[in-house]
Structure 1
Amino acid sequence: MADFEMFNKGNKKAVEVEKQSNLLEKYFHLSERGTNVKTEMLAGLTTFIAMSYIIFVIPNQFLVSAGVPQGSATAATILSTAVATLLVGIYANLPIAMGPGLGLGAVFAFVMVGSMGLNWQTALGAVFISGVIFLILAVTNITKSIIEAIPKVLKSAIGVGIGLFISFIGFKNAGIIVSSESSYIALGNLADPSTILAIMGLIITCILMARDIKGAFLIGIVSTTILGMIMGVTKIPTNINDFISYIPPLPTETFGELDVVEAIKYGLFSIIFTITIVDLFDNIGTIIAVSGKAGLLDENGNLPGINKGLIAGSFAAMAGGVLGTCTVTTYLESASGVAEGGRTGLTAVTTGVLFLGTLFFTPLAGLVPGAATAPILIILGALMIGDIVHINFTDFTDGLPAFLTIILMPFTSSIVEGMSFGFISYTLLKLVTGKYKEINPIMYVLSIIFIIHFSIA
C-alpha cells in the first residue's frame, strides 16, 4: 500500500512537471524554434554569468561617481536589469537580456553630471524622458520602418562589427591588449596572473567548443573561476557571508527621485536627443545581431515582431530612470546565451530571475573574475564574424560602408558611431553613383539624424 502511494505521488509529480513543460512550450513556442526547456535555462544561466559583472561595474564606475548612494545604486542596477530582461522575455519572446548600458552610463556620469554639472536626480529625469521618446517611436512603428529600411549589407556589417567590438572588449578585459601611447594598442603583460588566467580560460573554452561540448561557455567560466581561486586571482569563499546577503539592498534612496521638470527646464534637448539616439540604435544593432545569431531573422534580414522588443526596451529605459540608474539597453552578452542554444524568451526569463536572486547572493556573483568571462567575449567575436561572407566587397558602394561600419565599432568603442559612418557613406555613395533606387527614403532621414548626432556630440 505504501509503495502504491509513493508511486501515485511520483506519478502526480511527473504529470505536474509535464503540464508545466507544456505551458512553457505553448507560450514560448519552444519546439517551433528548435529548442527545449533545459537548453533555454542553460542558455539563460550562461547569459547571466557573462553579464553579471554589471552588478559591480555600473554602480561603482558610473552611478556612485555621479553622486548616487552606493546601496541604492547597486539595488537599482540589479532590479532594472531583472525587470527589463523579464519584460523582453515574457512580452517579446526574445532571448535577449537588458541592463544599464556601459556607454550610456558614461554619458550619465561624465557628460550630464560631470560636464553639464547637473545633479543625478535631473540626469535621471533626462533618462526617463528619452525612454518616453523611444516608446513613441516604437508604438508608432517608426522603429520598425527604420529597421526594414536598413539594407541587408549593413545589417550583416552591424553583426560583424558588434562581433569585433565584443572581442575587443574581451581581449582588453583579459589584459591581452592594453593602451599604448606609441602605438595606441599593444600586447599586454602576459606574465600577469589575471592575464594568464584569461588565456587558460580561453584555451579551456576553445577546446570545449571544438569538441562540441554542451554548456561549453558555462563550464569554461566555472572552470576558470576555480582556477582563479587556486591562483589567488579571485578570493576563495571562507564563510556563509561570501555566498549570501540576508538583507538584500533596495533602491530606497533613488526610487522615484528623478526630476523630469528640472530636466526639461534645463533645456537638455541635445543630451536627451543623444541618449535616445544611442539607446535606439544600440537596441536595434544588438537585437539584429543577436537575433541573427539565433536564426530568428527572415529572408530580408528583418526580425518579425521586433516592435515588441523595442517597446520593451523603451519601458526598460523609463524603469531605469524611476529606479535610479542610467539608461537600460540590450546587452551584447545575450549572444553568449544564444550560442548555448537560447532561442526564445525563456532564456531571458531565466536570466532575469537569476538577477533577482543576486539581491540575496551578491557576494557569490562577485567571485567570478573578469578573466573568467573575457574568453567568452573573444570567442563570441569569432562566431559572429561569419556574416561577413554576405557582404559584396567587389561593389565599392556596398563594401566601403560595410567596412566603415565594421571597423569603427571597435575603433571608437561605440556601436552607434560605427553605424553612423556606415549609414552616411552608404547613402552618399549610392546617391553620387546614380544608384539612388537602392536607397530607401528613410535612409536619407537616418543619415541626416546621424549628422546631427555628430554635430551635437
Structure 2
Amino acid sequence: MKLFTNLEAQKTNVRTEIMAGLTTFFAIAYIIIVNSETLAITGMPRTAAIFAIVFASAVGCFIMAFYADAPIILVPGLGECALFVFTICGKDAMGLSLGQGLAAIFISGILFSLIAFTKLAQILTEAIPEDLKTIIIVGIGLFLTFVGLKNAGIVVANPATMVGLGDFGSVKVIVTLINLAIALFLFFRNVPGGFLISLALGTVVGMIFGIVDISSISFEMPSISEYSGVFFNMDFSGLTNPTFWVAVFSLVLLVTFENLGLMYGQTTNMIGAPEKFKNSFRGGAISVITCGIFGASPTIDAIETGAGIAAGGRTGLTALTTGILFLLALLFTPIIMIIPSEAIAPILIIIGFLMVSNISRVDIGNFEIGFPCFLILSAIPLTFSIVDGIALGFIAYPLVMIFKGKAKEVKVPMYVVSLIFVLSFVLKVIA
C-alpha cells in the first residue's frame, strides 16, 4: 500500500504518522461536540448530528488518505456550520428547511468539484498572486491565535473597546498558562507527539484545578435510529427559489477559497509537497458532496491539520489514523468531552504562530500587493470570518493595480473572482 511504502521518501515513518494522526484528532475532536450542538438548532436530533459529523469527517479523512496521500483533515468547519444553521436554515434569514439546506450543500459540492476537476482550478491558482495566497495562511494563523486566546479567557469581550485582557487571576487563565508552558517546553524540545502529550497533561492539570470532572464518564454507544431520518434526506424542492441559489453560491465561495488557501499553504509551505495540492483540493470537493448525503454542514481543511503537520505528519497515513479515530469516537465521546479548552488553546496559539511565520515570504513593503495583503491579514481575525477577509483583499488588489496604472498586469480570472466577491456582498445585502 502506497501509504506505508512511500514513507521513507517523504522523510517520515509509521510511528510518526500515527502520532500525528492522534495529535490532530485530539486537537479537532471538539468539533463533534460543538457542531452537533449547533446543528441541533435546525431541529436535527443531537444524536443524529453526532453521527452526521463523525461520518462526514471520517470519510473526508479517508479521501485525503487514499486519494491525495496528504495529512489533511477534513471536518465540518465552524464557520460553515454557522452559515448553514443561522443563515441558510435560519428562520430570520434565508429560511430554508433542513432538507433544502442539505440539498444546497450537495449542489455546492458538485459546483466545487467542477472547479477542482477542470482547468478552472489551475487557472484560478495561477491568476491569484503568490503573496495573496500566502497571506491567507498568515491571516488564518492570527485567527487561530485569537480563537485560542479567546477560548482561554486571556482575551475577552469588552463593551468599551470590543476586546480586552481577561482576568489573570481566574482558574481558567491560570490553567491555560500552565498548559501553554507545558506545550511550549515539549514543542521546543522536539518531543515526539508533544502536542498529544500536552493535551493529556493539560487534562490532568484541569483535573487538579477542578475544571475537569470525570465522575460522569460513561461508555454508551449513541443510538443510530434517529440518524435514519437525516441520512440522504436532501430536499430539492427549492431549486426554483432564488434564495436557494444564493445559499449555494455562498457555500461555494466559502468552501472553495477557504480550502484553496488552507490546502495550498499546508501542502506547499508546511510539508513542502506542492504536488499534493491538486488531489487534496479535488478530494475536498468530493467530501463536500458527501456532506449533503450524510446530513452534515460542509467539510473544509481543518486549521488543526497544522497540529498533525507540526507533529511530523507528511502523508495520508496521518489522515487515515484521524479518520479511524473519528469512527471510534462514537464509543468514546464522553472522554473526548472532558478534554478542556484550556488544554486545546495552547496548541491553537502555537499553531497560529507557525502559520503567521509565513509572513516573511510576503512582500508586504510593496504597496500594490502589500495593501491587499494587509486587508486580508487584518480582516480575517477582526471580522471573525475567513471568507470575508479574503474577499476584502481580493477586491482591493485589482483596484489598487488599476489605480497604479497596471490594470493589464492583473489576469482576467482575478477580475472575475473579485467581481464574484463583490456580488456576494451585494447578495448578502439583498438577502
Name the TM-score, length of structure 2 as normaliser: 0.94
Superposed, 1:8-407 pairs within 5 Å as 24-26=3-5, 29-60=6-37, 62-114=38-90, 115-237=93-215, 242=217, 244-246=219-221, 249=224, 251-265=227-241, 267-297=243-273, 303-407=274-378
Aligned partner of 2:424 in structure 1 is 453
Once the two structures are superposed, what CA deviation does each residue of 1:239-260 show, in whole Å capped at 9, x if it has no partner?
xxx2533456462220011112
Once the two structures are superposed, what CA deviation does each residue of 1:316-348 show, in whole Å capped at 9, x if it has no partner?
112111111111211101011001111111111
Residue 432 in 1 paired to residue 403 in 2?
yes
Amino acid at match of 2:312: G
Q: Distance in 2 between matches of 1:172 and 1:135?
A: 35
Shift of 1:431: 2.4
Secondary structure of 2:272's partner?
coil
2:80, 2:298 within 8 Å by CA — same for their partners in 1? yes
Secondary structure of 2:314's partner?
coil
Once the two structures are superposed, what CA deviation does each residue of 1:360-389 show, in whole Å capped at 9, x if it has no partner?
111111121111111101111111111111
Q: Distance in 2 between matches of 1:269 and 1:260?
A: 11
In structure 2, relative to structure 1, the CA distance for the partners of 1:362 and 1:335 (3 Å cut) is: same
Once the two structures are superposed, what CA deviation does each residue of 1:404-436 show, in whole Å capped at 9, x if it has no partner?
111111111111112112112121212221334
Shift of 1:236: 2.0
In structure 2, relative to structure 1, the CA distance for the partners of 1:188 and 1:166 (3 Å cut) is: same
Amino acid at match of 1:373: I
Q: Distance in 1 between matches of 2:236 and 2:284?
A: 19
Q: Distance in 1 between matches of 2:397 and 2:133?
A: 12
1:128, 1:260 within 8 Å by CA — same for their partners in 2? no
Amino acid at match of 1:315: I
Shift of 1:24: 3.4
Amino acid at match of 2:203: T
Amino acid at match of 2:397: Y
Q: Which runs of 5+ in 2 are unaligned?
A: none
Q: Distance in 2 between matches of 1:95 and 1:243?
A: 32
Secondary structure of 2:96's partner?
coil
Q: Distance in 1 between matches of 2:3 and 2:246?
A: 44
Shift of 1:25: 3.4
Aligned partner of 1:423 in structure 2 is 394
Q: Distance in 1 between matches of 2:143 and 2:89?
A: 27
- How many equivalent pairs are there? 425
Amino acid at match of 1:401: P
Q: Distance in 1 between matches of 2:189 and 2:267?
A: 25
Secondary structure of 2:229's partner?
coil
Q: Distance in 1 between matches of 2:364 and 2:96?
A: 46
Once the two structures are superposed, what CA deviation does each residue of 1:286-335 show, in whole Å capped at 9, x if it has no partner?
112222343335xxxxx324332222212211211111111121110101
Name the TM-score, length of structure 1 as normaliser: 0.89
Secondary structure of 1:252's partner?
helix
Once the two structures are superposed, what CA deviation does each residue of 1:108-159 show, in whole Å capped at 9, x if it has no partner?
1111221222221111111111111111111223123212222111122112
Secondary structure of 2:187's partner?
helix
Q: Which runs of 5+ in 1 are unaligned?
A: 1-21, 298-302
Secondary structure of 1:268's partner?
helix
Over alpha carbons, which structure has the higher Rg? Answer: 1
Percent of aligned pairs sharing the same letter: 37
> Once structures 1 and 2 are overlaid, which stretch shifts more, 144-153 or 103-112?
144-153
Q: Distance in 2 between matches of 1:227 and 1:143?
A: 46
Amino acid at match of 1:364: I
Secondary structure of 2:156's partner?
strand
1:157, 1:402 within 8 Å by CA — same for their partners in 2? yes
2:61, 2:319 within 8 Å by CA — same for their partners in 1? yes
Once the two structures are superposed, what CA deviation does each residue of 1:166-198 show, in whole Å capped at 9, x if it has no partner?
101110111110111100101112222222211
1:125, 1:263 within 8 Å by CA — same for their partners in 2? no
